[in-house]
Each structure stands twice: as structure tokens, then as C-alpha cells.
A and B are shown apart, each in its own frame.
Chain A
Amino acid sequence: MKTELMSANYAASRAVVSARVEVVAAYPITPATTVPEQIALLNEQGIYKGQFIRVESEHSAMFACIGASSTGARAFTATSSNGLLLMDEGLHWAAAARLPIVLNNVNRSVSPSWNIHVTHDDSYSKRDTGWIQFYVASVDELYHTIIQSFKLAEDERVLMPVMVNSDGFVLSHTVSPYDHLEPEEVDKFLPPYTPPHWVMDPENPVSHGNIVFPEHYSEFRNMMHEGTKNALPVYTEIEKEYKKLFGKYFGGPIDCYKCDDADVVFTSQGSMGAEAKDAIDELREEGYKAGNARMRMIRPFPVDKIRELGSKVKAFASFDRGVSYGFGGPVANDIRSTMYHMKHRPMIKSYIGGLGGRDMAIPDIKAVILDTFKAVESGELGPEETWNDLKD
């Protein structure tokens, strides 16, 4: 293991080499562009030894990955925003075909209005495709989560594709240290992929994607649901092994910080969750019992962990950097439904903000958490959701 200094996009392309990916098919889109750009360069230099397919659209990128993965190759792609939306049909296909593709989505606002900065609307809108979704908060976490994701996706109990989300520009173009692993080191953790079910092989032809009648369709969908849910226990095993081998651990599906005795726990996805630790430290110094729960995985939703946290806190201050139009913060609402059947139901405040890359600095996060403390004191939930820092 060697420490390197790189942007998240550059590190993602190195994770592709370290994980011995065999096929990358990608189409450039800001801010993801430098991921395939670097892979193309590494390919030319003979460092990335797999195939690099230059396709004409993101739709083709996903379907090239589907073809590759169907033959048993380890496949990867990267995209952002409208590019992810163009992949949509393929995202559903990859999940239902149970293909362990890994995708780095560099979160970017969806157009119009044209904006290349971070909003999580792109990946939120893909929440129900069957893809497992991670959100990371650092360059190092992105690099290692991509490697872990192949192991998770390829596990026979899971066999579902994984989307690793990283905030556009905040991470994608910000240089920061990460601990690099050589492919020979990763070999100890990640064996070559051998499809445990169907495979596209000219020697032994099968037809895939054929008609399934009402008699069996729901059984296939139920198996997808179970595969995705299995990702929670399987990821726990994977993280344990990864920590033992490389000393790296990022906190499980929810990275908790000072939550044990907290009255209010702040939840968020992506890089803001790292920022929030500093906000918590300052609030603790000011006498507030606040904690930080950084949501690393939102599909499958870490139901048990949220219930465990929810049984102890007075309130969640749940921040979404995206919107379900007409129903507020997607993760806040998931937390609300997770807690509905519990005896103790803490107040769940929903905040929406940081859209289009609007900065969410430590004072902004503190203000959100203090607003929740105020609601706890008054006993009034207040608005269904609060748009942070909205100009009238």
C-alpha cells in the first residue's frame, strides 16, 4: 500500500486497474470525464490491461458493460447526471440480468437549468432500478469502495450491480491523498469473477431476456429484492475482511460519529457527511449532544441500523441534496417510513439544500442541526420539509 495524491476521478481510474477490471465502456460527461480519460491513458500506457470501449452514448456504454459482464468479464463505467439518465433502460436491465457491473456516478445536477455542480437528483432518480447505492465522502473512500463493490456485486448471495456515488467537483476535481493498492495486493481480496449462474458463451449458447409469463415474473423480481437486501450482511463481511487485509474501514452502511449519547443525529449523503463531523465537534463544545450519521448506503436501505439509532435519539435532522418532487427529501422519507412501526418514534426533520453545488459549510450544517434542537424543545415538527437557505 502506497499513499498517492489525486482527485477522486483519477483515483477511481486507479481502482479500476487495482481491481483488474476487464472491460470499461464509457462516454465522457462533466464532471465524470476524467475517469474514462484516465483509463484510456492508463490503457495506452499498458497499465490498465483490460479493454476500453469508446462508445457513442451512455446508453451504449451501459449495454456494452452488460454484454461484457454477460460473458463473465469484470465491467466498469463512469458517468454523471444526464449521462446516467440516458443509461436508465440499461440500469434496469443490468439489475434484472443480475450482472455485477460497477458504476461510478459523479453526482451532478440534472438539466435544465444547466449546472455541472453537485445535486443527488441523478442517482436518487435511479433508486428503484435495483442498483446498490453507495455515497462516499473522500477520495480514499471512493477508491476502496469501488474495489469492495466488485466483491459485493459478484457475491452469489447478492449478484446485483453497484453504483458508487461521488460528489461532482467537491470530490471529483479535488486532489487529496489516498492509499493505493497494487493489483497483486487486491488479488488476496478479490478473486477473478466467475459467473455463478448464466453466461454468454458461444460454445454453450443460451438465450437471455426471454419471455416470462405472469406465473413466474414476480418470483424473479422477488429474487432481485432479496439479492439487494443481502448486500447489507454481505457488505459487513466484506468490510471485516478488507479491514483485516488492508486496515481500511469506512463505517459500514452508516458511518456514525458521536451518535451513542446524541439527542439529535444529523444524516446526509456524500461529502457533506465529512464536513458534518466538524460541525458536530463545534456543537459538542457549545454543549449540544449532537451526532453525525453519514449514510454510505441508501439501497439497500440500512433499516436495522436506522432503527437502532432511532431508538436512542430525540430527533433526526435529515439532509437531502436532492428532491423527490412533490414529496420532499428521499432519504428523510425513507427514515420516516423505517421508524413508523417502532414504539419510540423520534422527530424526523427533513432538510433540502446544497442543490446545484451551493456550498454547505460547517456553519450551514450547524444551523440545520440547531433548527432541529429548537423543534425538539418546542415539541413542534414544523414544516414537512425545510428548504435550507432558500431566497424568498
Chain B
Amino acid sequence: MHWTCFHLVNEVNTEPTGKKDMPKTSYSKPSIGSTGKTGSWRTFDPMVNYDECNKCRTCWLHCPEAVISIGEDDFPVWDFDYCKGCGICAEVCPKKCIEMVRTSDAVGGSLPVGGSEG
């Protein structure tokens, strides 16, 4: 059994480091995550056990944040830059193979680190 998360980097969004690279007031171009990486709100990470997953896409259908996408191998993949950790995916999964793990304990930690790993 292996637990995993997918960390996707949104190339459009920029995270300013301070006033020098910030505009005078908050505005954004239409883009994914135009208001910043809202995944920082999360206290629980959904962790999927791909050994159990049957690719039914129920989680993909129910995620209110639309952060689950279907990967090339037809498995669901998570965008943790924006996942709020609401737990709906875990609740609706018919195989009960998504576990909500406290963010600090989750594999890979809570901060999006870039790249994708299975």
C-alpha cells in the first residue's frame, strides 16, 4: 500500500516576496488561483491509496473546488495548491480509500513543492 499526493505548480500565479514585487492594490489577471495559493487554508490533506482506487471518479465529480483531475493512467490526481481539505472526496469515495491526514503529518508536507510524483 502506498499513500501519495500530487503537487502541481501553477505557473500563472506569482507569490510576491514583499512590497517590491507587489502592485499598489490587489488585482489579478484571470488565471487559475488568481488570488494566491488558497491551499494554505488546509488543516487536513486527502491522501489516496491508489492500490484500492477503482478509478470511479466519484471524488472528481464531488470536489467543490475542482482540484481533482484525471491523470493519464485514469487515476485521480490532486492539486494541493488549492485543495481546502474539506474531506468531501474522502466522504464520497465508495472504496473508502481516501484518508484525511493532518497536514503536518501528510507525506510531502502541506506546502506545494512542485513537480509531480506518484
Q: Which residues of A contact B (CB under 8 A)?
A: 96-98, 159, 197-198, 205-213, 215-216, 219-220, 222-223, 227
Residues in B whose Cβ lies below 8 Å from that of A96: 25
Q: Cβ of B19 and Cβ of A208 under 8 Å apart?
A: no
Residues in A whose Cβ lies below 8 Å from that of B38: 211
Give 8 closest A-B pairs by Cβ, nearest first: A208-B27, A211-B35, A210-B35, A198-B27, A98-B24, A98-B25, A206-B27, A212-B26
| Residue of B whose beta carbon sits closest to that of A197 | B24
Q: Cβ of B27 and Cβ of A207 under 8 Å apart?
A: yes
- Chain B 11-25 against A: per-residue CB contact (8 Å), 1 yes, 0 no? 000001011001111
Residues in B whose Cβ lies below 8 Å from that of A206: 27-30
Query: In this assembly, does B34 line the interface, its C-beta being within 8 Å of a C-beta of chain A?
Result: yes
Total interface residues on B, using CB and 8 Å? 17
Residues in A whose Cβ lies below 8 Å from that of B35: 210-212
| Residue of B whose beta carbon sits closest to that of A97 | B25
- Please, could you name 11 A-B residue pairs with CB atoms under 8 Å apart, sorted by A? A97-B25, A98-B25, A197-B23, A206-B28, A207-B28, A208-B26, A211-B26, A211-B36, A215-B40, A220-B22, A223-B24
B117: shortest Cβ distance to chain A, in Å? 26
Q: Cβ of A198 and Cβ of B23 under 8 Å apart?
A: yes
Given the known inter-chain contacts A216-B16, A219-B19, A222-B19, please indicate yes or no for A210 contacting B28, CB distance below 8 A.
yes
Q: Cβ of B19 and Cβ of A213 under 8 Å apart?
A: no
| Residue of B whose beta carbon sits closest to that of A199 | B27
A156: shortest Cβ distance to chain B, in Å? 9
Q: Cβ of A159 and Cβ of B36 under 8 Å apart?
A: no
Apart from A206-B28, A212-B35, list 10 A-B contacts with CB within 8 A.
A98-B25, A207-B30, A210-B26, A210-B34, A211-B35, A215-B40, A219-B16, A220-B25, A222-B19, A223-B22
Q: Which residues of B contact A (CB under 8 A)?
A: 16, 18-19, 22-30, 34-36, 38, 40
A175→B34 CA distance, assembly (Å)? 53
Residues in B whose Cβ lies below 8 Å from that of A220: 22, 24-26
Residues in B whose Cβ lies below 8 Å from that of A208: 25-27
Residues in B whose Cβ lies below 8 Å from that of A215: 36, 40
| Residue of B whose beta carbon sits closest to that of A213 | B36
A208→B38 CA distance, assembly (Å)? 17
A210→B34 CA distance, assembly (Å)? 8
Cross-interface CB contact of B40 among A97, A205, A213, cutoff 8 Å: A213
Cross-interface CB contact of A219 among B22, B27, B29, B34, cutoff 8 Å: B22
A198→B28 CA distance, assembly (Å)? 9
Q: Cβ of A219 and Cβ of B23 under 8 Å apart?
A: no
Q: Cβ of A159 and Cβ of B24 under 8 Å apart?
A: yes
A197→B27 CA distance, assembly (Å)? 10
A197→B23 CA distance, assembly (Å)? 7
User: Which of B26, B34, B36 has the most chain A CB atoms inside 10 A of its CB?
Assistant: B26
A224: shortest Cβ distance to chain B, in Å? 8
Residues in A whose Cβ lies below 8 Å from that of B28: 206-207, 210
A52: shortest Cβ distance to chain B, in Å? 27
B113: shortest Cβ distance to chain A, in Å? 18
